[in-house]
């Protein structure tokens, strides 16, 4: 004898069933409604599937475990494993390839904050000048460290403009250390106190 499996394995199927029921009821009941009632009912029919889909994705996003039933799993142990909180052990990140060497830079003692600035999209001199004017001249007297992420074009422009700022800022009391990291060539350039 043929055994029919009545289990609905996919939660989105439930949404399809509810949408089908609402559309079928509309086909049957709309001819018997007044014009005012039809308008309200048609808006309900249009919005109901989207409302169900919205609720499904909200549930999926915030409480995905509520969509599982014990019958969805082969045995009870797998069902219980799905509801256990996973604790991800802290593992050391290893580089993808073995030929990459880490860039180690010794920082001076009084530096307690590092600014990371991505200038890979700045490819014109005015953009670089404007950025350097903003970040290299605050009012504080504490030493600062800047890490600039560059590509081949912005790397050249940045080095030229940092050199000109170095010449202009010789009499400053504050020490500013700059590290330039080219993300394409993986080169690091350390500019000392400027």
Q: Quick check: 145 and 114 in contact, CB under 8 A?
A: yes
What's this model's pTM, rounded to 2 decimal places?
0.40
Rg for the chain, CA atoms, rounded? 31
Same domain, 59 and 120: no
| pLDDT above 70: residue 190 | yes
pLDDT digits (tens, 9 = 90+) for 55-95: 888 877 887 666 666 666 666 666 666 666 655 555 554 44
Q: How far is CA 118 from CA 141, 146, 162, in A?
A: 24, 10, 15
Residue 96: its pLDDT value, please? 47
Does some domain include residue 100?
no
Catalogue the E-assigned strands of the chain: 114-118, 144-150, 176-182, 187-193
Q: How far from the centroid of its chain's Cα atoms is residue 156's Cα?
A: 30
Q: How many domains does the chain have?
A: 2
Does some domain include residue 62?
yes
Share of the chain above pLDDT 90, in %: 0
**pLDDT confidence band for 138 (50 / 70 / 90):** low
Average pLDDT of the chain is 71
Same domain, 189 and 118: yes
Q: How big is the chain, counted in residues?
A: 194
Same domain, 19 and 72: yes
Same domain, 78 and 120: no
Residue 125: its pLDDT value, please? 75
Does some domain include residue 102?
no
Q: How confident is the model over 153-170, as a mean pLDDT?
A: 66
Residue 173: its pLDDT value, please? 59
Same domain, 22 and 67: yes
Does some domain include residue 54?
yes
Does some domain include residue 141?
yes
Q: Among the three residues 33, 62, 83, which one is the final residue of a domain in this structure?
A: 83
Does some domain include residue 92?
no
Residues 179 and 182: their CA atoms lie apart, in Å, by 10
Phi, psi of 124 (to 5 degrees): -125, 155
Does some domain include residue 107?
no
pLDDT digits (tens, 9 = 90+) for 12-63: 777 788 778 888 888 888 888 888 888 888 888 888 878 888 888 887 788 7
Same domain, 19 and 77: yes
Does some domain include residue 154?
yes
Residue 27: its pLDDT value, please? 84
Residue 55: its pLDDT value, please? 84
- Parent domain of 170: 114-193
**pLDDT confidence band for 98 (50 / 70 / 90):** very low
């Amino acid at each position: 004898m043929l055994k029919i499996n009545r289990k609905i394995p996919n939660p989105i199927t439930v949404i399809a069933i509810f949408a089908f029921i609402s559309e079928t009821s509309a086909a049957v009941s709309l001819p018997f409604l007044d014009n005012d009632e039809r308008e309200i009912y048609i808006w309900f029919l249009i919005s109901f599937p989207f409302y169900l889909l919205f609720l499904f994705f909200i549930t999926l996003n915030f409480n995905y475990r509520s969509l599982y039933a014990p019958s969805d799993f082969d045995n009870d142990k797998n069902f219980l494993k799905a509801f256990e909180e996973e604790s991800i052990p802290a593992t050391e990140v290893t580089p993808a390839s073995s030929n990459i060497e880490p860039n180690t830079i010794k920082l001076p003692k009084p530096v307690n904050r590092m600014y990371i600035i991505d200038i890979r999209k700045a490819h014109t001199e005015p953009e670089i000048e404007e950025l350097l004017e903003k970040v290299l001249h605050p009012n504080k007297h504490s030493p600062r460290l800047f890490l600039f992420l560059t590509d081949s074009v912005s790397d050249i422009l940045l080095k030229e403009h940092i050199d000109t700022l170095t010449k202009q800022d010789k009499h400053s009391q504050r020490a500013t250390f700059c590290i330039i990291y080219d993300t394409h060539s993986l080169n690091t350039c350390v500019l000392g106190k400027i």
